[in-house]
Amino acid sequence: MNVNVVVDKGYALLRNPQLNKGSAFSDAERHALALEGLLPPVPTTLDHQVSRIHVQLATLDNDLQKYLFLSDLQARNETLYYAVLMSDPAGFMPLVYTPTVGEACQKFDHIFHAARGVYLPISAKGQVKRLLSNWPQKDVRFIVVTDGERILGLGDLGVGGMGIPIGKLALYTACAGVPPELCLPVMIDVGTNNAALSDDPLYLGLRQPRVRGEQYEAFIDEFVEAVQELYPKSCIQWEDFANFNAVPILEKYRDRICTYNDDIQGTASVALAGIYAALRISGQKLTDQRVLFLGAGSAATGIAELISQAMAMEGLTLEQARKRNNLFDINGLLTSSSKMMEFQKPFAIEHEPLGDFVAAIKALKPTGIIGVSTVPKLFNQKVIEAISEINDRPIIFPYSNPTSRSECTAEEAYAWSKGRAIFASGSPFPPVTVGGKRFVPGQGNNVYIFPPMGMAVYATEARRVTDQMFIVAAKAVAEQVGQESLDVGLIYPPQSRILTASLHVATAIAGHIFERGLARVPRPDDLSRLIAEKAYVPSYGRNC
Ligand code: NAI
């Protein structure tokens, strides 16, 4: 039994999502727990329940309905919810996370059903610890927190951003086995600047402009302190903050507590994994790469920095490496004379101003382009042809999410590069046949990184999350890609194997955590066994 949960009996037990087994309560349990008569008479198994959910889902004809059905299931029977997700993680990921979660966040106030997680409005300044203490679990290891300002590529969704921490934590469990009872989604509500939301009578968050500056920072400080006091073994993962908050928050806390930002570091790691795998196709060295980013926000600078650090581990100085990662923002190439934010400065180069992306490709001769601009279609035919002219196997990663924001489609990249692109995107694209060859586009989904990172941090009780851990993760992901995948252009492990891949990646990260003396538990002889033993497996046996 889960020690944190008070054992309920009778009808209340059927309303407790952590203990409820629904029709799977055995005859003996029904007798002992005052459930007789409260359920259809014949006990069933978890497998049968999973099949029943699949049947029910098949009757629903749109993804948002399926999302809602699954979140209701999570609210009534957590074991069954995870058994369903883990029966086909690749199939369920688009339903519980991107792209469906984007629509769910946009419609949050209209579709709100059941509360989950903790909401911290800035109106509760000074009371954060008290609010957090209302969460029933006292051992929390993983917190995903957002302030809802930059949800996916969709902008300020206010309190509706809560869909992201909820969905993301479901993937920590479904894709790497982080125990769900140790996970806590948090929404920090400092207001919204989205007028459509604050004018909507159904809006559920604070109707005030976003609080900025010192008051905002003090509220984040209060949150971090409360978490440290209540949950000293926890890791805080910052999610979908606007870049001008995301970067300073990460800088402020990364060396003080166990924390990371998935948009910055997870994205960076999965992009680096894609590059490591791409090098297996092109046969080139990492230090020979030059990457041109479209966009210079938190994803771009995060990826550029991690690639630079990985290049530095292979012999370049960090300064030389950063010069090989160039940023092209809304006003053109970032050069030393551009107006820019502090976190962009390391990547500004000495160069004449260039306002046209194709001209920048021709001038800088990148081996790859990565789109993190949130603007669709900017990798147009001229762009793809320009990079394909310079490279035999150009790396083309349109990473903006959701699909509607992708800088190009897989078909466009393969067609315009005449089948030579090494392609991966932020949102999924189906396999395509171009010039008679079938390609399976990879999705540079952070899901290859953050669940195993969470699992490794949890299993080792890591004190910190370092950039090196993300480089280790990237290498471990790339190692998982088989030659048969590379042959069809797939540079990430098949998502159908996500759990196996995650456990491998978590083991590699855990090894690094022990090596660097960052663990708070003794090192066992067998690391993969440590990870496997800690991994959550949905089963009713566990709860009774
Ligand atoms: P951000 O808002 O921090 O950055 C966007 C950047 O693009 C800004 O620097 C902006 O000035 C620039 N930009 C806007 N219009 C432009 C234009 N026309 N040309 C060039 N640059 C332009 O957002 P963030 O966090 O960097 O995310 C960017 C995108 O990357 C989002 O769509 C997000 O969903 C996606 N992303 C994908 C991930 C993945 O698939 N693994 C993970 C994280 C983010």
Nearest to 429 by CA among 452, 455, 401: 401
Q: Is 442 helix (H, G, I), strand (E, B) or coil?
A: strand
CA of 297 to the centre of ligand 1 (A): 6
When pLDDT is averaged across residues 56-76 and rounded to a whole number, the result is 97
Nearest to 305 by CA among 340, 338, 345: 345
pLDDT value at 6 more than 90: no
Q: What is the pLDDT of residue 128?
A: 98
- Distance in angstroms (rounded) separating the CA atoms of residues 332 and 199: 35
| Residue entry with tokens 């905002």 | 216
Check residue 52 and give left, alpha or beta (phi > 0: left; psi -120 to 50: alpha).
alpha
Which residues is 425 bridged to in the sheet?
443
Ligand 1 atom 17 nearest Cα:
330
Backbone angles phi, psi at 172, to 5 degrees: -55, -40
Residues with CB under 6 A from ligand 1: 150, 152-153, 243, 263, 267, 270, 294-300, 329-330, 372-375, 399-401, 405, 426, 444-446
B/e letters for 269-285, b = 16+ CB within 10 Å, e = fewer, are bbbbbbbbbbbebbebe
Catalytic residue ranges: 97, 168
When pLDDT is averaged across residues 196-215 and rounded to a whole number, the result is 97
Nearest to 396 by CA among 405, 380, 386, 384: 384
Nearest to 533 by CA among 520, 541, 524: 524
When pLDDT is averaged across residues 159-169 and rounded to a whole number, the result is 97
CB half-sphere exposure, 143, CA atoms < 13 A = 30
Share of the chain above pLDDT 90, in %: 92
Non-local CB neighbours of 140 within 8 Å, separated by 6+ positions: 182, 183, 184, 230, 231, 234
CB half-sphere exposure, 397, CA atoms < 13 A = 34
Q: What is the pLDDT of residue 8?
A: 81
Q: What is the pLDDT of residue 1?
A: 40
Share of the chain above pLDDT 70, in %: 98
CA of 278 to the centre of ligand 1 (A): 22
Instruction: Tell me how many degrees the CA angle 473-476-479 measures, rounded to the nearest 5.
Output: 150
B/e letters for 49-63, b = 16+ CB within 10 Å, e = fewer, are bbeebeeebeeeeee
Q: Ligand 1 pocket check: which of 372, 380, 427 to mutate, most ligand atoms within 8 Å of Cβ?
A: 372
User: Which runs of E-coded beta strand occur in 399-459?
Assistant: 422-425, 432-434, 437-439, 442-443
When pLDDT is averaged across residues 359-384 and rounded to a whole number, the result is 97
When pLDDT is averaged across residues 228-232 and rounded to a whole number, the result is 98
CA of 52 to the centre of ligand 1 (A): 40
266 burial type by CB count under 10 A (0-12 exposed, 13-18 middle, 19+ buried): buried
pLDDT value at 428 more than 90: no
Strand (E) or helix (H) holding 238? strand 235-238
When pLDDT is averaged across residues 180-193 and rounded to a whole number, the result is 98
Q: Ligand 1 pocket check: which of 240, 292, 373 to mutate, most ligand atoms within 8 Å of Cβ?
A: 373
The rounded mean pLDDT for the chain is 95
The CA distances from residue 470 to 70, 265, 456, 467, in Å, are: 31, 7, 11, 5
pLDDT value at 350 more than 80: yes
Q: What is the pLDDT of residue 7?
A: 60
Q: What is the pLDDT of residue 502?
A: 96
Q: What is the pLDDT of residue 4?
A: 43
**Long-range Cβ contacts of 433-440 (<8 Å, 24+ apart):** 438/488, 439/410, 439/414, 439/488, 439/489, 440/485, 440/488, 440/489, 440/490
Quickly state the pLDDT bin for 247 (edges 50, 70, 90).
confident
Q: What is the pLDDT of residue 5?
A: 47
Quickly state the pLDDT bin for 298 (edges 50, 70, 90).
confident
Quickly state the pLDDT bin for 281 (edges 50, 70, 90).
very high
